[in-house]
Amino acid sequence: MRANRRIETDLSYSRTSRSPKLIEQIGLFDTTTFAFLLLVFFASASGISVIRATHDYRHLFISLQEAREHSNQLGVIWGQLLIEQSTFGVDGRIEQKAVELLEMRVPAVEEIVMAKF
């Protein structure tokens, strides 16, 4: 019986006296260490988020500036087209006023005389 007790005692001793795991040696399960690591993680994640948001903002601002420049160029082209339209519209108005006020008309073919020098 004593031999059996001794074996049981040796087994119980070997069960309880395990070598500590690496995590326990580091002290990761300590609440202060865990809280500190958690804070470091969230601070890093927050910093990366700020950097990402700033980067996205810069790209959007550059796109906005390009769109404004394109809009200005289109405005210049629109102004040029309006000037061109008003220039071409003047000829029709002159012809209309000549017919109305001066009673001018396009001569018939028989009335056209060719002048020779």
Q: pLDDT tens digits, residue range 51-96?
A: 999 999 999 999 999 999 999 999 999 999 999 888 777 777 778 8
Mean pLDDT, the chain, rounded, equals 82
**25 falls within a domain:** no
State the residue range of the domain holding 64.
47-81
Tokens matching residue 36: 């500190």
pLDDT of residue 38: 92
**58 falls within a domain:** yes
φ/ψ of residue 62, rounded to 5: -65, -40
**70 falls within a domain:** yes
Q: What share of the chain is helix, strand, coil (3-state, %, to 5)?
A: 80, 0, 20
Percent of the chain scored above 90 by pLDDT? Answer: 40
- Residues composing the chain: 117
Tell me the pTM: 0.49
The residue with greater pLDDT, 101 or 24, is 101
Of 20, 19, 37, nearest to 28 by C-alpha is 37
Tokens matching residue 42: 């969230």
**15 falls within a domain:** no
**75 falls within a domain:** yes
**41 falls within a domain:** no
pLDDT of residue 53: 98
How many domains does one find in the chain?
1
Cβ atoms of 62 and 68 within 8 Å: the answer is no
**60 falls within a domain:** yes
Cβ atoms of 98 and 104 within 8 Å: the answer is yes
